[in-house]
A and B are shown apart, each in its own frame.
Chain A
Amino acid sequence: MSSEAKNEFLEGCKDAIPICLGYIAVSFAFGIEAAKIGMTTFQAALTSLLNVTSAGQFSALDVIARNGSFIELAILQFIINLRYMLMSTALSQKLSSKVGTIQRLGISYGVTDEIFALSFFRKGSLNPLYSYGLIITSVFGWVFGTVLGAFSGQILPERLISCLGLAIYGMFIAIIIPDTRTNRTILGIVVSAMVLSSIFTYVPVLASHISSGFRIIIITVVVAAFAAYFAPVQEDKEEIKP
């Protein structure tokens, strides 16, 4: 490995340290939830290693816990992780045409909200080695936190675990709420998704016929399509956001 290549890799590792710390905290919560539904520490860690997607993994727990259908799980993952398509598409513009398919397949493994953000705002074209540095450091945190959580889920006092269940929702809120201040469309999306979700949850006929996985799929497609049709993103000031 040339020294320039080595520098790219090390720089990626260094830049991803904050991601790594954040991931430990979030995947800790995932580990706890996974343990709650009876997954072993190994299964929880394997899930994190192979998926590296917070919303996707959390939503899957619900399907797994009630022995849901494989089709439901596949569609749920597809919809919830659809945003990675936008990110991957954006990243493909950052890669030199010399970057081959194998390297592209390698980078694909680590397209997450946070890794995408660092890669996309990197100056100049993206060196795959920089991506690998980001990915290795971040995924280490993601899997390590999961193991800690799954393990603690079995030993921590019940009251503490009860409160840590809020962590993942706190994160989701921290991701979606700030943009509602400046963007009325996003405010509308967040409020209507929450209202619809409540209706699906509390109206008995709907609650008994539509599982929580499909509930999220339906709401996402309806609300996002409605917003995209009536309030498309302004092309000139569009920012591709995780």
Chain B
Amino acid sequence: MSRVYLYILLMAGVTYLIRALPLTLIRREISSRFIRSFLHYVPYATLAAMTFPAILNATDYLYSSVAGFLVALILAFNKKSLLTVAGFSCLAAFIVELFLH
């Protein structure tokens, strides 16, 4: 079996255990305020770390990536939907690349 399938099965197993263990085992609420807060904050830290500075290399050109990043920030700050933010971010990069070519 190729290594890729081992990767896929491993991540699927880990992810499933995370979801299944609490649903089947923990029947009471977590009482530790620290752990509850930690779990609450995790997605923000993870997604922010994954987004920047990686987004600067998301397209073939730095300028189009920066344009897409700025458009996404502005739209997200104005609470636009996921699809709107993602779509216009790509569009902004595409337009900038038209000028770069």
Contact = CB atoms under 8 A, between A and B. Distances in A.
A179 B48 CA distance: 13
B24 A81 contact: no
Interface in B28-47: 29-30, 33-47
A223 B68 CA distance: 26
A198 B23 contact: no
Contacts, number: 297
Interface in B14-62: 14-16, 18-24, 26-27, 29-30, 33-55, 58-61
Interface string A201-242: 110000000001001100110011101110111010010111
Given A89-B26, A189-B44, A197 B20 contact: no
Scoring B6, B48, B51 by chain A CB atoms within 10 A of each residue's CB, the highest score goes to: B48
B9 to A, nearest CB: 7
Contacts of B22: 85, 88-89, 92
12 contacts: A46-B8, A51-B8, A58-B50, A74-B14, A86-B30, A92-B23, A162-B61, A165-B58, A170-B85, A174-B86, A185-B41, A232-B34
Contacts of B37: 227-228, 231-233
B83 A166 contact: no
A164 B9 CA distance: 27
A82 interface: yes
Interface in A167-181: 167-181
B39 A82 contact: yes
B83 to A, nearest CB: 6
A111 B23 contact: yes
B72 to A, nearest CB: 4
A225 B5 CA distance: 33
Nearest to A46: B8
B57 to A, nearest CB: 9
A145 to B, nearest CB: 12
Interface residues of B, number: 77
Interface in A91-128: 91-93, 95, 97, 101, 104-105, 107-109, 111, 113
Contacts of B77: 177-178, 180-181
Interface residues of A, number: 104
B99 interface: no
A216 B6 contact: no
B30 A89 contact: yes
A71 B6 CA distance: 12
A242 B15 CA distance: 16
B63 interface: no
Contacts of A167: 86-87, 89-90
Interface in B52-101: 52-55, 58-61, 64-65, 68-69, 72-73, 75-77, 79-91, 93-94, 97, 101
A216 B12 contact: no
Given A167-B89, A173-B72, A198 B53 contact: yes
Contact of A81 (B15, B53, B79, B94): B15
B48 A190 contact: yes
A46 B83 CA distance: 24
